[in-house]
Structure 1
Amino acid sequence: MGKRFSNDSVEVRQSRAAVMAPEPIPDDMDISTTRVKKTASERAQIFNAMQKNDFLSRLDEEQISMMVELLTSLDRCPGDDIIKEGTEGDSMYIVAAGELQVTQAGRNLRTLTSGDVFGELAILYNCKRTASVKAVTAVKLWCIERQIHRSIMAIKSKKKREQLMGFLKTARTFKSLSDEQLSCIIDSMEEVCAARCHFPHEAPHLHYTSSLNLKGLSGIEYAHVPVSGVKFQDNEVIVREGAEGDTFYIILKGEVEVTKKVNGQQKIIRKLEQGDHFGELALMREILRTATCIALGSVTCFAIDKDSVSSLQLKDLIPVLYQEGRYQGSPVTLGVGGFGRVELVTTLHHGKYFALKKISKKLIIQKRQEEHVLFEKRLMLDIECDFIVRLHGTFKDSRYIYMVMDFCSGGEIWTKLKEVRHFEENITVFVAACVVEAYAYLHKKDIMYRDLKPENLMLDSRGYVKLVDFGFAKKLRRGQKTYSFCGTPEYMAPEIIQNHGHDFTADFWSLGVLIYELMAGSPPFSSSEPQNIYAKILDGVIKYPPHMGEAARSLISKLCRPRPGQRLGNTKNGIKDIRNHRWFNSMNWHKLRMKQVNAPTVKLIRKGPCYINFDRFPFDKSLAEEDFSGWDREF
């Protein structure tokens, strides 16, 4: 691990949260009378406008479709006021044609034209307009009132709830449950889907996960069972015969083909449709799948997972031992850092592997890192992203705190880089793309990462890259700066070194450094002396190796611009400008987020014992000092 420094403190909210008063939805509102016929081009224009809007693009397909149907047409003349600053708003507008001017306190803010959306907060709650909007030319607008929009959502929710209740009642596992108990399951399902709308690209198959306590229902002992909404593409395998089963599916939309291997051939057993379910035995006992289930066209399911971790105890974790070599019989150590070690463990009942991070409590106090460790725990428990390692739970004893995390069996990018000296360009593109997706998720949650380097990138079994180690992450509001000196020297942005204050753009600088190191084998600014590294970073001169292509050089130079305001990623379209750079032309970002890209990193992963892709470390029999100060009450 590189030398790292930090002197941050965790910020807390100083003021009370704003209160929104509830507003009743009329029971007798007839929304069918507001339907307006629209041409195909008008529908396309409305749909495109909604997709470009941060809030509206998070709505699901049915909600968007119903809104498109119910938008009404509104014509206004030049000089007409559409919205007046300070008045209460109850409608959202989409510009179909014409030009409007937005002003605030008499100042011109911007011009609205065809395809622009305004006033969308008014369909959520009764709010005062913060700006005025006036027609400059004759305009045509599409409009929807808050009560109509809220009625749409209520009708859709009631319909889906009735539908799900019917589905659950047909499942043998749930037949003995009361409507109240079934309602608990549905509550969890709907809560989950709503929560994840804010981050639509984080997980495979748009996989939404939450936790539901079903213990004791109908005499079945359920742990905390995550309930999920999952989408599958045409011909995608949902369940594979012979694989371990831990998920029960209910088909919400689409068809699923069930096949079974008979005399070496796959034979079609039956087709499942909306309302059918499969895999329920997985909730009750360890069982291998007895058939293969494949999506026929687009399929949406609700899934209930048996969570093997939420009920996990520290005593359940068993060290994995080296099976051969000079450390044979000793516990497997995956990594060693300044604060502790990461060990490979498994569980007696479930047979899954986890990485157990074990950190000395006394050392944390000596380095004054208590707040950072507590923040890291809170942060990681809130993160659910395919490109970030998942924290499953935490424990403590008198000497250590423990963090149970995903085991990424492919090993560290750092180890792979040492083995091959430098990566081929297509591998570097894939690794960098995974980091971009992790950054997009974190930055959307106002989290800076601040410790990017090959040592903190892990490969899962499929070769996908996951970010690990959030010891230097920090929450920061947009427009704010932080002044701490932290990071790994070779990867520090100049504004950190100069103490000018830094923000999310420091992460983009480190991405440029990472791309360079992966392709060249060493960072662009390196020396055995940190002060020389800092001097080179401030000079900003990058010497590229002859084999590095023009597109890679262009991206690195734009990410490593000395002025943060000119850095790619901090430009007009944000992180989209990084995705759209020509160096990433071969990357299908949607397929990457859906984990449908064949990872070129797979060829770097060796086959053998589960720990074969990791450096080997001798077992440390020494014990850390005990600590009873109580700073770790949260663990």
Structure 2
Amino acid sequence: VKRHHHKHNLKHRYEFLESLGKGTYGKVKKAKERSGRLVAVKSIRKEKIKDEQDLVHIRREIEIMSSLCHPHIITIYEFENKDKIVIVMEYASQGDLYDYICDKKNLSEYEARHFFRQIVSAVHYCHQNGIVHRDLKLENILLDGNGNFQIADFGLSNLYHSDEYLQTFCGSPLYASPEIVNGRPYRGPVDTWSLGVLLYTLVHGTMPFDGLNHKILVQQISTGNYRKPSKPSACGLIRWMLMVNPERRATIEEVAGHW
């Protein structure tokens, strides 16, 4: 994946189709390349980025995603000129995992296992390359036209070494580990916890922590007090991944070899 500079106008490269959404700094549009391949194009206007730290995060996300090459991670290309940063991504035509589960209600164990293995293989690859995602959730996992899931949105990801701790509070509360919700330093196992929440949801069709309010949610996460599932599928692995103590929690390597 290479960085391209704005030698040609984007409108000559792509036929822009419908809008896919709008973010803080710009729009995401569906587009067609000359080859006929569909892509998603995210345009970020530099003038809208007031905070220098936000620019650092955007550039870090681009740098990290551009460095990754895995069948279950969205591929990106970057274009840039003085006015804007343009990110061209693979187009995931079937929406996200949240919508998929809402539509299907109950996945078979085979289907849950198949999708979970795809997601785990991508996270395992990230960790092998010194990257922690920190925001794994249903909405950040997209389904392509071939029925395969791909991880997207590395906006909160960071580089890390296995012997170093990170400090930043980030991620989505329903998927956040005990060490994150309690403001403690953390390492790669925060992703394993989020994957445990994902696996529970894939298998049982509901979230493990109900979080009626933030205080109750933090209490549930801090004590590992999740809803006991109604069926036994993957119970042992889920328990291992949702260990409150990160030293006792399953590593990504252990998860990859388990289910």
Same-fold call, TM cutoff 0.5: yes
- Structure 1: which amino acid aligns with 2:245? R
Displacement of 1:312 after TM fit? 6.8
1:413, 1:459 within 8 Å by CA — same for their partners in 2? yes
**Change in 2 beyond 3 A, CA 1:310/1:359:** closer
Structure 1 counterpart SS, 2:170: coil
Aligned to 2:29: 343
State the AA in 2 paired with 1:553. Answer: C
Residue 533 to residue 353, structure 1, CA distance change in 2 (3 Å): same
Query: Is 2:147 aligned against 1:460?
Result: no
Task: Output the amino acid matched with 2:90.
Answer: D
Task: Kindly state the Cα deviation for residue 425 of structure 1 after the two structures are TM-superposed.
Answer: 2.0
Q: Secondary structure at the match of 2:41?
A: strand
Inter-partner Cα distance in structure 1 for 2:51 and 2:212: 27
Q: CA–CA distance in 1 between the matches of 2:180 and 2:57?
A: 19
Partner of 2:243: 561
Task: Give the drift of 1:449.
Answer: 0.5
How far is 1:372 from its partner?
A: 0.7
Letter of the 1:314 counterpart: L
Trace 1:323-338 onto structure 2 (pairs within 5 A): 331-333=18-20, 335-338=21-24
Is residue 36 of structure 2 the alignment partner of residue 318 of structure 1?
no
Q: Quick one: structure 1 residues 336 and 515, their matched pair in 2 at CA, closer, same or farther if it must change by over 3 Å? A: farther
CA distance in 2, matches of 1:379, 1:446: 10
Quick one: structure 1 residues 311 and 367, their matched pair in 2 at CA, closer, same or farther if it must change by over 3 Å?
A: closer
Letter in 2 for 1:342: V
Inter-partner Cα distance in structure 2 for 1:532 and 1:492: 14
Asked whether the 8 Å contact 2:209–2:227 carries over to 1, the reply is no
Contact 2:6–2:80, Cα closer than 8 Å, also in 1: no
Measured against aligned partners, the alpha-carbon deviations of 1:541-583 in whole angstroms (never above 9, x if no partner) come to 121331x32x4111111001000010111xxxxx3321332xx
Q: Which amino acid aligns with 2:253?
A: K
Taking structure 1 as reference, are residues 542 and 496 closer, same or farther at Cα in structure 2, changes over 3 Å only? same
The aligned counterpart of 2:100 is 416
Q: Distance in 1 between matches of 2:58 and 2:73?
A: 17
The answer as to whether partners of 1:494 and 1:562 remain within 8 angstroms in 2 is: yes
User: Could you give the per-residue CA deviations for residues 105-141 of structure 1, whole angstroms, max 9, x where no partner exists?
Assistant: xxxxxxxxxxxxxxxxxxxxxxxxxxxxxxxxxxxxx
Report the counterpart of residue 195 of structure 2 in structure 1: 511
Q: Which structure's residues are more often strand, by fraction?
A: 1
In the alignment, what sits opposite 1:469?
153
Q: How does 1:217-232 map to 2 (within 5 A)?
A: none
Structure with higher Rg: it is: 1
Structure 2 unpaired stretches of 5+: none
**1:437 match:** 121
Q: Displacement, 1:395?
A: 3.2
Q: Is the 1:387–1:438 Cα contact (8 Å) retained in structure 2? A: yes
Establish whether residue 552 from structure 1 lines up as the match of residue 229 from structure 2.
no
TM superposition shift of 1:362? 4.7
Q: Which runs of 5+ in 1 are unaligned?
A: 1-209, 212-308, 321-330, 570-574, 585-635
Which of 48, 62, 74 is matched with 1:389 structurally?
A: 74
**Take 1:359 and 1:338, find their aligned partners in 2: how far apart are those partners?**
9
CA contact (8 A) 2:174 2:217 kept: yes
Q: Is the 8 A contact 1:544 1:553 kept in 2?
A: no
| Alpha-carbon distance, 1:424 to partner | 2.4
Percent of aligned pairs with the same amino acid: 27
Per the TM alignment, residue 476 of structure 1 is displaced from its structure 2 partner at its CA by 0.7
Q: 1:481 aligns with which of 165, 174, 187?
A: 165
Aligned partners of 2:121 and 2:256 also within 8 Å: no
Kindly indicate whether the alpha-carbon contact (under 8 Å) linking 1:310 and 1:393 is maintained by their aligned counterparts in 2: no
CA RMSD of aligned residues (A): 2.6
Q: TM-score by structure 2 length? A: 0.89
Q: 1:385 and 1:356 mapped to 2: Cα distance? A: 20
| 3-state SS in 2 of match to 1:563 | coil
How far residue 341 of structure 1 moved from its aligned partner, in angstroms, is 3.6
Give yes or no for contact 1:314–1:395 (8 Å, CA) kept in 2.
no
* Mapped contact 2:6–2:79 kept (Cα < 8 A): no
Change (3 A) 1:542 1:359: same
Q: Structure 2 counterpart of 1:541, which letter?
A: N
User: Does the 8 A contact of 1:472 with 1:486 survive in 2?
Assistant: yes
Match of 2:143, as an amino acid? L
Q: How does 1:266-305 map to 2 (within 5 A)?
A: none
2:244 maps to amino acid: P
Residue matched to 2:257: 580
In the alignment, the residues of structure 2 paired with residue 466 and residue 476 of structure 1 have an alpha-carbon distance, to the nearest angstrom, of 22
Counterpart CA distance in 1 for 2:46 and 2:212 is 31
Local SS of the residue matching 1:365: coil
